């Protein structure tokens, strides 16, 4: 299947994310609280845009099943995933609403969000955007499964965050796989290349997003050579 090929190509990127500072800090249970604050500020806004992009895709569909599926996902992203964020806010020891109130689209999350919007506006078929969005659940599911398989997290304050992504992603991933595979079957090789690239680029965006939080990346406009304070 086409999506099996994508997932195989994504695995080294996911393994690299696993070994980066953010996930290693989660595994140890002592991740820097500023990294978590930064992540929550960025992710709250990212998920809002993710829900809005789903709504753009609804306009491209004609089947009620697909529309209902996306409506369910909008609800999950806006109301379900809060539980994972709440675990992190509890770890920081501050009120969630206070933490997120001054978030922004920091450079790496900005790039990721615009990658998804580009596809939603550029292509009539929703599959191109779905390929750019699928790493969002997929990468977290794979990270959580790797962590759970390799570590005993009892007593780790971030264990509920890991548990959340081990159990909640299966149905969604099956649906997205079917969707992309159906489209890929009748797509041209040129279109399949775009699908592949969209998926892999978003896996790299996932890595950059965690590293953004680990380094508390910000836009810098005042420096002589305006740049961002992040590598990778």
Which chain residues interact with ligand NSP by CB under 6 A? 43, 46-47, 81, 136-137, 140, 206, 209
* Shortest-Cβ-distance residue relative to ligand NSP: 136
Residue 2 or 135 having the CB closest to ligand NSP: 135
Cβ 118 to ligand NSP, closest distance in Å? 17
Token reading at 49 = 């845009």
Specify the residue, 46 or 54, whose C-beta has the smaller distance to ligand NSP. Answer: 46
Structure tokens at 31: 């991740």
206 included as an active-site residue? yes
End-to-end Cα spacing for the chain: 31
Q: Which ranges constitute the DSSP H helices of the chain? A: 2-19, 21-28, 33-58, 64-75, 82-92, 96-100, 107-122, 126-133, 135-150, 159-167, 170-185, 189-214
Nearer to ligand NSP, 191 or 201 (CB): 201
Query: Minimum distance between the CB of residue 190 and ligand NSP, rounded to whole angstroms?
Result: 28
CA angle 87, 77, 202 (to 5 degrees): 95
Report d(CA 147, CA 159) in Å as an integer: 10
Closest CA relative to residue 146, chosen from 39, 24, 30 = 24
Question: In the annotation, is 136 catalytic?
Answer: yes
Instruction: Give least dist CB 202 to ligand NSP, A.
Output: 9
Burial 113-128 (b: 16+ CB within 10 A, else e): bebbeebbeeeeebbb
Closer Cβ to ligand NSP, 48 or 192, answer by number: 48
Write down the least CB distance from residue 162 to ligand NSP, Å.
12
| Cβ-based nearer residue to ligand NSP, 128 or 209 | 209
CB of 211 to ligand NSP, least distance (A): 12
Residue from 206, 217, 218, 224 carrying the catalytic annotation:
206
CB 53 within 8 A of CB 117: yes
The active-site residue out of 81, 136, 203, 217 is 136
Question: Would you please indicate which residues are annotated as catalytic (active-site) residues?
Answer: 136, 206
């Amino acid at each position: 299947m086409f999506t099996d090929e994508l997932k195989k190509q994504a695995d080294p990127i996911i393994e690299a994310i696993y070994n980066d500072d953010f996930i290693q800090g989660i595994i140890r249970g002592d991740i820097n609280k500023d990294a978590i604050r930064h992540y929550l500020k960025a992710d709250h806004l990212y998920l809002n845009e993710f829900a809005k992009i789903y709504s753009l895709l609804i306009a491209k569909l004609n089947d009620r099943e697909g529309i209902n599926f996306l409506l369910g996902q909008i609800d999950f992203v806006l109301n379900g995933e809060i539980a994972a964020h709440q675990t992190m806010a509890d770890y920081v020891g501050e009120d969630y609403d206070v933490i997120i109130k001054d978030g922004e689209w920091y450079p790496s999350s900005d790039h990721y969000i615009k990658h998804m919007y580009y596809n939603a506006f550029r292509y009539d078929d929703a599959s191109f955007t779905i390929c750019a969005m699928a790493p969002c659940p997929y990468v977290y599911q794979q990270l959580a499964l790797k962590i759970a398989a390799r570590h005993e997290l009892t007593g780790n304050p971030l264990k509920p965050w890991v548990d959340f992504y081990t159990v909640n992603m299966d149905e969604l991933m099956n649906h997205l796989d079917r969707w992309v595979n159906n489209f890929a079957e009748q797509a041209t090789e040129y279109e399949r290349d775009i699908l592949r690239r969209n998926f892999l680029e978003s896996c790299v965006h996932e890595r950059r997003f965690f590293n953004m939080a680990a380094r508390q990346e910000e836009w810098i406009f005042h420096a002589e050579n305006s740049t961002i304070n992040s590598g990778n």
